[in-house]
């Protein structure tokens, strides 16, 4: 067992982080106490401490986000950094970025979170609610939502109020309708979508009056019951109508399904979409019955054979093979779907590379440009599956920062809240 001796007031931010990490490792390795009552008390104390750590984490994420430091490391956004380097799920990464960006506009929330008086759940809920508000409405919304917290409303209920915060502000101020300035944030429609673990997608959003009219006019007729035996409710019919429009109605939509010949003829091995989502064998066979089937011939080691001429741009056949091989961008940790990526000459077209199938990879637009301008930061490997893997190296001019240096005397730096 290691011991920690530290003067908390004079310690640097780096030393404090190291101490917290060491304590967390030791605590994680211990069994929970036998007393359930003691576990309840300790869990509540630990949860409050975790919330205060989230306050410090938000400050650091905010500094990285404002400076754009993640881009020098080959990461296009703060959210991608949190997902790829810290292993956060998309929703949690977005939640933390939102809190980091809004905390300077929420002084009461920031102080209460840092002081252990407000949980991270409430803080992130308030931050999400004010993200599309101007500064004046933000201040009013912070007070309204914190009043709800003090009245004992749950985080879920506060989130519900947050979704209609403009109406709540108007009601508190005894205003019949929000003025033009307060409505400014809702003049633009928005839609947010999140991928679920089973390959589905959650969707939420808001449409202004013009876009809502287009929604009703297009989806309304399609969402009507198909007949007296149509037992679907309105949300299910609306989802089906939306998918029908996205698919182009009667026009076929391109969906690539990878399936073994054995599965196609009755086997049980599941197929998969190009993003890696598994498709049960029976469902895969049903899809194949209504689709054109194209054979993909693989050589030894599952490496695709050459499919196109040596030209500057990849052929459609080559791209189809690449989308099968690359569910996502070739850059390690990048989650951009392969279907949205660009075809990249692994060794660089300007360097004389040929447009052969075994010399191509799929790379998102951002990383394709990064690879071209920062070739010394790209490490390329070629696995037995036939896929290339690009690994981003640290920037060569990255300075070694002494995170254990004492905090500055003026109180400004990484230790600042």
The dihedral formed by the CA atoms of 10, 99, 127 and 413, expressed in degrees to the nearest 10: 40
Going by C-alpha positions, the residue among 102, 170, 107 that lies closest to residue 134 is: 102
Strand partners, 202: 194
pLDDT at 39: 93
pLDDT at 59: 95
- 313, 343 in Cβ contact below 8 A? yes
pLDDT tens for 325-364 read 888 889 988 878 888 888 888 876 554 455 666 778 898 8
| Interatomic CA distance for residues 90 and 79, integer angstroms | 8
The DSSP letter of residue 306 is P
pLDDT at 170: 59
Residue 346: C-alpha distances to residues 123, 132, 275, 339, 381 (Å): 45, 41, 21, 18, 10
Could you count the other beta carbons within 10 Å of the beta carbon of residue 367? 24
- 279, 273 in Cβ contact below 8 A? yes
pLDDT at 293: 52
| Chain center to CA of 60 | 19
pLDDT at 283: 78
| Interatomic CA distance for residues 242 and 219, integer angstroms | 7
Average pLDDT across each block of 10 residues of the chain; the chain has 417 residues. List them in order: 72 89 91 93 93 94 93 89 88 92 94 93 92 86 91 85 70 50 56 76 78 79 75 82 71 64 80 74 72 52 45 67 84 83 75 64 87 87 80 77 56 34
pTM for the structure as a whole:
0.63
Going by C-alpha positions, the residue among 71, 66, 107, 19 that lies closest to residue 394 is: 71
pLDDT at 180: 43
């Amino acid at each position: 067992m290691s011991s920690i001796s530290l003067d908390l007031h004079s310690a640097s931010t780096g030393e404090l982080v190291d101490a917290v990490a060491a304590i967390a490792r030791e605590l994680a390795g211990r069994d929970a106490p036998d007393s359930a009552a003691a576990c309840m008390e300790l869990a509540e104390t630990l949860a409050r401490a975790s919330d205060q750590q989230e306050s410090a984490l938000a400050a650091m994420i905010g500094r990285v986000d404002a400076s754009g430091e993640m881009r020098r490391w080959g990461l296009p956004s703060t959210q991608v950094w949190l997902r790829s380097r810290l292993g956060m799920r998309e929703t949690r990464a977005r939640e933390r970025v939102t809190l980091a960006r809004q905390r300077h506009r929420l002084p009461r929330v920031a102080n209460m979170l840092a002081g252990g008086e407000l949980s991270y759940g409430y803080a992130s809920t308030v931050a999400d609610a004010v993200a599309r508000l101007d500064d004046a409405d933000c201040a009013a919304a912070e007070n309204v939502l914190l009043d709800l917290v003090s009245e004992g409303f749950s985080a879920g209920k506060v989130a519900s109020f947050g979704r209609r915060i403009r109406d709540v502000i108007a009601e508190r101020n005894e205003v019949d309708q929000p003025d033009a300035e307060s409505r400014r944030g809702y003049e633009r429609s928005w839609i947010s979508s999140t991928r679920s673990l089973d390959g589905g997608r959650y969707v939420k959003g808001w449409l202004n009056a013009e876009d809502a009219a287009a929604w009703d006019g297009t989806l309304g007729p399609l969402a009507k019951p198909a007949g007296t035996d149509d037992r679907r409710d309105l949300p299910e019919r609306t989802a089906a109508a939306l998918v029908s429009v996205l698919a182009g109605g009667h026009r076929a939509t391109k969906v690539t399904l990878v399936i073994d010949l054995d599965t196609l003829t009755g086997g049980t091995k599941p197929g998969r979409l190009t993003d890696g989502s598994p498709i049960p064998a029976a469902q895969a066979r049903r899809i194949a019955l209504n689709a054109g089937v194209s054979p993909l011939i693989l050589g030894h080691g599952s490496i695709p054979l050459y499919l196109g001429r040596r030209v500057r741009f990849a052929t459609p056949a080559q791209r189809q093979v690449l989308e099968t091989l690359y569910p996502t961008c070739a850059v390690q940790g990048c989650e951009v779907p392969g279907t949205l990526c660009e075809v990249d000459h692994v060794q660089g077209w300007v360097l004389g590379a040929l447009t052969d199938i075994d010399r191509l990879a799929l790379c998102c637009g951002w990383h394709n440009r990064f690879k071209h301008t920062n070739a010394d930061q790209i490490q390329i490997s070629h696995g037995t599956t036939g896929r290339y893997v690009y690994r981003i190296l640290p920037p060569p001019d990255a300075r070694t920062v002494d995170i254990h240096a004492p905090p500055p005397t003026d109180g400004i730096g990484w230790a600042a809240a």
